[in-house]
Amino acid sequence: MKKIISLVAALLLVLSAHAQQALYGGPQVESPVINADGTVTFRYQAPKAVKVEVTGDFLPTVKQEVDFGGNKMTVDMPGVGVLKEGPNGVWEYTTPFKVAPEFYNYTFHVDGQTVLDPNNVFVNRDVASLTSVLLVPGDRADLYTVQRVPHGSVSKVWYPSATAGFDRRLTVYTPAGYETSKAKYPVLYVLHGIGGDEDAWVTQGRATQILDNLIARGEAKPMIVVFTNGNISQEAAPLENSTGYTRPTMSLPQTMEGTFETSFPEIVKFIDSRYRTIAKKQSRAICGLSMGGFHTLYITLNNPDMFNYSGMFSAAIGTGSEQTAAHKEIYENVDGKLATYFSKKPALLWIGIGSTDFLYQANVDFRAKLDAAGYPYRYMETDGGHIWKNWRIYLSEFVPLLFK
């Protein structure tokens, strides 16, 4: 009897594995592998394939000219590594260089079809695309890794939006100790880019790990962090809408035409009513990437008594979206609004951009305007373009400057 029972125990494991094998499995290889010498090996099993490539941001970028309606522009495109076929149809590629610590995205191309790494369950969604994920620890990437430090809580909460006419979702980080303390906390609002949502900074941005680690190191003050959804026509991230499972898209309505900016005070009001916040300018900060940098600028300028710290990460300014805005007033009289804003002596306007970002010139122009008027700001320029690697760096640099 005892023998039969433990057979069943073994079966429990084997059958589960077997059923999964049939549904999801196929032959398994180990991929990716961070080798002892710091290189990384990618493997893909496809005995009948003719060509297998890997692409991702761990590879050096390649310059490519893009033609858009007669306008030619040189952009950075991800490099490509070519896998070679070995025994049993296992294709393999090892980087000819040490891969630096970072949180990377990659995919395979198999005979022209883009596929995820079937042997890596870690994936990220960025707007409408999935990629496999590789975390190479060390250096700055240690900030992006869960460490054995006190962890904040990360909550998905819904606020009633009078502007939208329905409830909308936020991600809210409360720092370790919030629940057991009676203290009030400063608040940082963090905004995503076009096509993103309230999940983006937590998944792609590793923001809650960055916060946990900076606070644990004593490099940042404990703070509440609110990740908004800047697509005012949307309740929440694609999976979490009452519209069901619809395909995510970059071209959502009402994203850069003033409605979200106009609605922002209702979010601040909700957070101040729901959490133990220090509900005043001195203890409020806002930052955002790309479209979120654009939002940050105009929310700040239109509410000059609301934020003491503002961070524009690769801000999508100068794109002309203001010209056709539903709420033109948000974007009008920028010079006057800048004068008012700076007359109130905000603690920090922070600007960060990559040297090859296609928004680089627009940010040069904006800084020239600030310089001409003698307005103070802090500036950080990094390598690379319009990429998450830069946005994680900017957040890690911006957060330690807050609420000091």
Q: Which is nearer to its own copies, 320 or 374 (CB)?
A: 320
Q: Which amino acid is at 292?
A: G
181 binds its own copies (CB under 8 A): no
Q: Cis omega (within 30 of 0) on the bond before 32? A: yes
What x-and-dash track marks residues 341-380 binding its own copies by CB under 8 A?
-----------------xx--x------------------
Scanning 147-155, 221-229, 260-268, 325-333 for contacts with its own copies by CB under 8 A, the matching segment is 147-155
- Interatomic CA distance for residues 228 and 385, integer angstroms: 24
Q: Which is nearer to its own copies, 122 or 379 (CB)?
A: 122
Residue 32, classified by CB atoms within 10 Å of its CB into exposed (0-12), middle (13-18) or buried (19+), is buried
Q: Name the pairing type of β-strands 129-136 and 102-110.
A: antiparallel
Task: Decide if 223 contacts 284 (C-beta within 8 A).
Answer: no
69 binds its own copies (CB under 8 A): yes
Selected from 14, 100, 162, 326, the binder of its own copies by CB under 8 A is 14
Structure tokens at 203: 């998944």
Please name the residues in contact with 150: beta carbons below 8 A apart, sequence gap of 6 or more: 176, 177, 212, 215, 216
Closest CA to 293 of 201, 368, 210: 201
9 binds its own copies (CB under 8 A): yes
* Footprint on residues 214-233 left by its own copies (CB under 8 A): none
- Interatomic CA distance for residues 315 and 310, integer angstroms: 12
166 binds its own copies (CB under 8 A): yes
For the CB of residue 281, give the shortest distance to its own copies in the complex, in Å: 25
Scanning 13-21, 222-230, 298-306, 325-333 for contacts with its own copies by CB under 8 A, the matching segment is 13-21
Q: Which is nearer to its own copies, 61 or 94 (CB)?
A: 61
Residue owning tokens 């923001």: 207
For the CB of residue 49, give the shortest distance to its own copies in the complex, in Å: 7
For the CB of residue 85, give the shortest distance to its own copies in the complex, in Å: 13
Name residue 309's beta-bridge partners.
285, 348
Residue owning tokens 């620890």: 137
* Footprint on residues 106-125 left by its own copies (CB under 8 A): 107, 109-116, 118, 121-123, 125
236 binds its own copies (CB under 8 A): yes
Selected from 39, 319, 340, 356, the binder of its own copies by CB under 8 A is 319
Closest CA to 331 of 266, 255, 261: 261
- Interatomic CA distance for residues 202 and 204, integer angstroms: 6
Selected from 90, 133, 226, 315, the binder of its own copies by CB under 8 A is 133
For the CB of residue 246, give the shortest distance to its own copies in the complex, in Å: 10
**φ, ψ dihedrals at 203, nearest 5°:** -85, -65
For the CB of residue 293, give the shortest distance to its own copies in the complex, in Å: 12
* Footprint on residues 280-309 left by its own copies (CB under 8 A): none
Q: Which is nearer to its own copies, 225 or 402 (CB)?
A: 225
For the CB of residue 127, give the shortest distance to its own copies in the complex, in Å: 7
Name residue 40's beta-bridge partners.
34
Q: Which is nearer to its own copies, 220 or 237 (CB)?
A: 237
82 binds its own copies (CB under 8 A): no
Task: Using CB under 8 A, count the residues that bind its own copies.
Answer: 110
325 binds its own copies (CB under 8 A): no
CA atoms within 13 A on the CB side of 190: 29
Going from the C-alpha of 241 to that of each of 208, 231, 249, 267, the distances in angstroms are 23, 12, 14, 19
